[in-house]
Amino acid sequence: MHITDILVTGEPIIYAAMVSIALVTVAIVFLLTYFKKWGWLWREWLTTVDHKKIGIMYILSALAMLFRGGMDAMMMRVQLAFPNLGFLDSQHYNEIFTTHGTIMIIFMAMPFLIGLMNIIVPLQIGARDFAFPYLNALSFWSFFFGAMLFNISFVIGGSPDAGWTSYTPLSGAAMSPGPGQNFYLMGLQLSGIGTLATGINLMVTILKMRAPGMKLFHMPIFTWSTLVTCFIIVFAFPILTVALALLTIDRIFGSQFFTLTGEGLPMMWANLFWMWGHPEVYIVILPAFGIFSEVIATFAKKRLFGYNAMVWSMIIIALLSFLVWVHHFFTMGAGAFVNSVFSVSTMLIAVPTGVKIFNWLATLYKSKIEFTVPMLWSLSFIPSFILGGVTGVMLGMAAADYQFHNSYFLVAHFHYVLIAGTVFACFAGLVFWYPKMFGHKMNERIGKWAFWLFFAGFHVCFFPQYFLGLDGMPRRLFITNIAEWLPLNIISTVGAFGMGLGFAVFVYNIYYSYRYSERETTGDSWNGNGRTLEWATTTPVPFYNFATVPYVDEIDPYVRMKEEGKTTFDETKLKPIHMPSYTGQPIIMMSFLGLASFGLIFEWIPVAIAGLIGGVVMMIVRSFDYDDGYYVSVEEIKRIERKARGL
Amino acid sequence: MAAEELKTGPLEYRSQEGRMGILGFWIFLGAEVVLFATLFATYAVLFGRTADAPTPAELFEPGIVLIMTFLLLTSSFTCGLAVNEMRKGNTKGLTIWMVITLALGVAFLGFEIYEFVHYAHEGATLQSSAYWSAFFVLAGTHGLHVTLGIGWAILLLIQIAKRGLTNKTSRKFFVISLYWHFLDVIWIFIFTSVYLIGMVI
Amino acid sequence: MKNKHLRSRWLGLLPFSLILFLSGCGNLEMTVLNPKGPVAQSQYDLIMYSLWFMLGIIVVVFGLFAFMLIKYRANRPGRKESDYEPNLHGNTMIEIVWTVIPLIIVILLSIPTVTTLFDLEKAPEPADGQEPKEPLVIHATAADWKWFFSYPEQDIETVNYLHIPTDRPIEFMLTSADSMSALWIPALGGQKYNMAGMMTKLYLQADEEGVYDGRNSNFNGEGFAAQTFKVHAESEEDFNSWVEEIQNEAPELTQEQYNELVKPGLTDEASFSSTHLDFVNHATTDGADYVVERYRELYGEKIELYDIDREETFE
């Protein structure tokens, strides 16, 4: 394959992207060299196994991916509002909605939430790090290289263009030749391994490393949501691993799983994909529920209403999530009986979800609501999510779904639940825990601007799409060719730009707050309203998290600790703390596996084998690595804590 | 972490790190069960879709599969004996039984490769039909697991030879024994639901 | 003061969303909400039935939400001590109530859903006082990116347009020559997938004469947007004379011609006085790979589609 066959050519947007990628890369390399930061970058970040730093890297990557996915969305909206512009052709539009969907779900929503889990869950349960810090770094780098691999498809080789669901036979070797679809398969496979590892890692962390006395039903609700999510990850992700592997083998090695030849069965892909895909949407929504619960309880200054019901409803949602996958293709003709069963199971999910909504409302009852930025994101979630939820039930009614399916009604529905649920939660969580991560809060005034712009833009963008769907506009249509559809599409595009502006203001706020925000002096950043253990640590959080781990036997332990004047620094109980060493192995191992994936994408088998051998060698290196970490001395802990606490 | 060392109980369970590692591996095996369950489901769905290729009933022969089953079941037993020696603190016994286990594993792999080559000669390859794709990927994934297990166990034997039995080496060895038994269980399912049913229908 | 400002902003959203909602609903031209046949009608009835429950839920939740926000904001003037109970953490009775009510709603929604599902598997019942008519069988075959409609009884075939008689059930036999598609005529009823190597059945019926939009609604590649067709619903007499005209005037469909038409790409409307079912049925295992085997290399070629045919009303 010649180099000119690899680079995507012929479109001004792509040349612009190439130039900007090149410029940004040169700028980063220049800045790092000029300020002599290469060593710092390697020592402090690329080799870190600290859950807080890994979490920050997850969130920064997720924000970058949100930008990329958002740009895709803007281009789609421009194309649909101006059908006479000839802005994008069909092929290009198909690539863009495919990358938009894949990036937003796999490389934005999940890493964002996993980033928050990384930083907060150990702090909430009183742990010093993850159960397997090395594995955690490995997970991050597998996500990172997976995401990079997927993103370079834009300029090298060509983007996938079969939708984020990648239905066969369209995505098979016959109908989608070339590397585009391989980028999808390998990018998801590589990052999927990391997600599975994170699921196991967090599960063991939560089950084995809780503070003394903390029973499962004492855990903060965000930690509970993480635990439930990890169960879903462990049982759903292997299905995706298999589905992706089978399609990869189909495409590269000529097997006949999903082909039209050799008696293959293309419909099996839809089944396998959604057996993972439906649990996946709960993987991104349950942690969001957890974040909202934490934020609402904190700024209502009140205990969460119905804690047990909240936990059990999450568990029931998780179980039901494995029993509804057929509702994504009621129209496949499985028959009235099968559709009835899955229709009822789908609607049943509304019951535990409804319970949660009412519990949040009841938490607000007899409370003292303070409208901070994280609270605004969380409160606005309730009415917005209800609109997505009720239309979800309507979609679950299979007979009616025959009309909604594949239409903009569906598009509006899942954006209503994913944005009002997951994206609002990511923003709420980031702003809420921002002081724990960076030692200063985000500016409230600018934060409110970002919120209102994004919130209003969101409703203006997606509410009209329900009506477009009812008027028969199918999803994934590259041009608005029916006059009646145009006005609502224009409104929708206006809203999308509102959201874009809101995001821009949000990012500006990060810069502004870095420059001008007051530095935190206490660990309990939100006017002393913290309820759970993460607020008991100092800000910035010392690398070992807790000098002494408190005894916990209730739901909001920090409330009692404050009443009794206790802290996480009890000089009489100090002991040396064991910490894991930083290591460069994870990033090296994953870059080899990234190389192997790259080789497979272009079907350059020698490159793939070379990468694989590199990866295996790194695993052997790891197996012989008996580095047991190091101990932080009591004197060192005293020095750090006294300085942080101003003693 | 390492602070909570126990003085009694099996060596691999004495440190917090060891307990977490073993729990984590059990959860990983749970994920592996889902992975193989998906492959079995795929196989079941594609059963009978042989297109122009020979049917399994024409190719499967009881003899070789029985030998493979015998080899793998025995290896699981000798692996158990190796763990038993580890509990007694007998490094030499452990090594001997584990080498036997691996030899049986290698023999199993040899028969499997022979079997695959034989089928390919008869016109049933990964590419020939949906059914054969499912068969080769299911059996092949198991075979790949066995291969990885052999490589991994060799690394551990070297480490045990160098370092003797410590909290860490014994935890690692216990984990691979779990893995080896798991592969045995999967093989029993392959033997019954793929080979026995394939021979009958 | 700041809070008052905030509240007015929240409340400001209410009329805003109402306007949007009414502008949508007031426009009763919306295809799905303006059914032209019994199948679409039954789905419309189900949608409207569910919509009342949904509106009820929305009103209750929005009402409670507004009440909590207004009454329990921290600096509402005139807050009382009794308005704050930080340790309130549950109430079994009320939690049971709000679990049972959604459960009842789900049951109330399930019953008509299931009955409608089973009804849709059969040809629509005739209107009161009318004789049941034998359904008209049409094989609808999707191919990248066009539609073949074969009328086996009449022995005619059309490409990219469809004629049907009114007041008579149509039994669509859906299949695909290559990628998965879905036949959707929103004015007449919901969609079902077309899949190569298998056949799905879809009953539709038009009660009113007219020209309706039909399309493939399931994304299947570059020409997806152009894979549309017009449905001409006309009286039995008009339909019969159209059939006769095609039988007499249109050429026969040869296999060479069909092979040419079925190539991945766009084609115009066409009519034939025989059907492709004479030489291949893509619903069978043998027919599934018919196109892929012949034109595998053509799928990689781009058609560079920047625009498609538009409605006349489009300015």
CB distance B159–A624 less than 8 Å? Answer: yes
pLDDT band per the 50, 70, 90 thresholds, residue B141? very high
Coil/strand/helix, residue A134: helix
Q: Residue A313 is encoded by which pair of tokens? A: 């409803």
Task: Give the domain A37-583+627-645 fold.
Answer: Cytochrome C Oxidase; Chain A (1.20.210)
Locate the domains of chain C by residue range: 2-75+93-120, 136-296
Q: Residue A361 is encoded by which pair of tokens? A: 């409302």
pLDDT at B109 over 90: yes
A253-296: pLDDT as tens digits: 999 999 999 999 999 999 999 999 999 999 999 999 999 999 99
* Rounded Cα–Cα distance for residues C250 and C151 (Å): 14
Q: Does domain B91-201 have CATH number 1.20.120.80?
A: yes
Q: Residue A217 is encoded by which pair of tokens? A: 């039903």
CB within 8 A of C70, min separation 6: which ones? Answer: C7, C76
Pair type for strands C270-272 and C228-234: unpaired
**pLDDT value at position C4?**
45
pLDDT at A417 over 80: yes
| Mean pLDDT of the region A188-201 | 96
- Which helix (H) or strand (E) segment holds residue A63: the answer is helix A51-81
pLDDT at A591 over 70: yes
Distances (CA, A) of C3 to A372, A421, C8: 11, 25, 9
Interface test with C, best of A384, A397, A529 (most C CBs within 10 A): A397
Residues 173-202 of C with CB under 8 A from A: 174, 178-180, 182, 184, 186-187, 189-193, 195-198, 200-201
pLDDT at A8 over 80: no
pLDDT cut 90: percent of chain A above it: 86
Query: Which of B19, B50, B130 minimises the CB distance to A257?
Result: B130
CB distance C195–A307 less than 8 Å? Answer: no
More confident residue, A20 or A69: A69
Interface test with B, best of A231, A246, A256 (most B CBs within 10 A): A256
Q: Does A75 touch chain B (CB under 8 A)?
A: no
What does the DSSP 8-state code read for residue C81?
G
Distances (CA, A) of A533 to A120, A294, A303: 10, 12, 15
* Rounded Cα–Cα distance for residues B164 and A282 (Å): 46
- Which helix (H) or strand (E) segment holds residue A597: the answer is helix A585-601
| Mean pLDDT of the region C5-22 | 50
Q: Does A10 touch chain B (CB under 8 A)?
A: no
C82-126: pLDDT as tens digits: 889 988 888 899 999 999 999 999 999 999 999 999 999 999 988
**pLDDT value at position A21?**
80
* Rounded Cα–Cα distance for residues B97 and B104 (Å): 11
CB distance B156–A623 less than 8 Å? Answer: yes
Touching partners of C (3+ C-beta pairs < 8 Å): A
Are A601 and A149 in contact, with CB atoms under 8 Å apart? yes
pLDDT at B169 over 80: yes
Task: Give the domain C2-75+93-120 fold.
Answer: Helix Hairpins (1.10.287)
pLDDT band per the 50, 70, 90 thresholds, residue C7? very low
Query: Which of A175, A397, A403 minimises the CB distance to C32?
Result: A403
Quote the minimal CA–CA distance from A338 to chain B in Å: 17
Interface test with A, best of C80, C217, C290 (most A CBs within 10 A): C217
Top CATH class, C136-296: mainly beta
Quote the minimal CA–CA distance from A468 to chain B in Å: 38
Residue C211 CA to chain centroid, in angstroms? 16
* Rounded Cα–Cα distance for residues C101 and C81 (Å): 32
pLDDT at A440 over 60: yes
Chain B residue whose CA is closest to A622: B155
CB-based burial label for B6 (10 Å; 0-12, 13-18, 19+): middle
- Name the E strands within A469-618: 577-579
Locate the domains of chain A by residue range: 1-36, 37-583+627-645
pLDDT at A51 over 70: yes
Return phi, psi of residue C251, to 5°.
Answer: -75, 165
pLDDT cut 70: percent of chain C above it: 90
From chain C, pick out residues whose CB is under 8 angstroms from the CB of A178.
Answer: 300
CB within 8 A of A308, min separation 6: which ones? Answer: A217, C90
Q: What is the pTM of this model?
A: 0.94
Chain C residue whose CA is closest to A259: C289
Average pLDDT, chain A: 94
Distances (CA, A) of A582 to A37, A48, A83, A442, C66: 18, 5, 54, 30, 50
CB distance A626–B163 less than 8 Å? Answer: yes
Are C206 and C36 in contact, with CB atoms under 8 Å apart? yes
CB distance A86–C307 less than 8 Å? Answer: yes
Please measure the distance between the N-terminal and C-terminal CA atoms of chain A and give it in whole angstroms.
66
Q: Does A354 touch chain C (CB under 8 A)?
A: yes
CB distance B2–A242 less than 8 Å? Answer: no
CB distance C69–A344 less than 8 Å? Answer: no
Query: Which of C42, C72, C285 minimises the CB distance to A364?
Result: C72
* Rounded Cα–Cα distance for residues A102 and A119 (Å): 25
Residues 471-510 of A with CB under 8 A from C: 471-472, 474-479, 481-484, 486, 488, 491
Q: Does A238 touch chain B (CB under 8 A)?
A: yes
- Encode burial over A435-462: b for 16+ CB neighbours within 10 A, e otherwise: bbbbbbbbbbebbbbbbbbbbbbbbbbb
Locate the domains of chain B by residue range: 91-201
| Mean pLDDT of the region B169-186 | 96
**pLDDT value at position A423?**
97
pLDDT band per the 50, 70, 90 thresholds, residue A3? low
| Mean pLDDT of the region A545-570 | 91
**pLDDT value at position C82?**
87
Quote the minimal CA–CA distance from C248 to chain A in Å: 35
Least confident of A330-334, A479-483, B190-194, C127-131: C127-131
From chain A, pick out residues whose CB is under 8 angstroms from the CB of B16.
Answer: 208
pLDDT band per the 50, 70, 90 thresholds, residue C1? very low
What does the DSSP 8-state code read for residue C308?
-
pLDDT at A441 over 90: yes
CB half-sphere exposure, A485, CA atoms < 13 A: 25
From chain C, pick out residues whose CB is under 8 angstroms from the CB of A381.
Answer: none
Assign 3-class secondary structure to A154-200: CCECCCCCCCCCCCCCCCCCCCCCCCHHHHHHHHHHHHHHHHHHHHH
Chain C residue whose CA is closest to A394: C50
What is the ipTM metric for this complex? 0.95
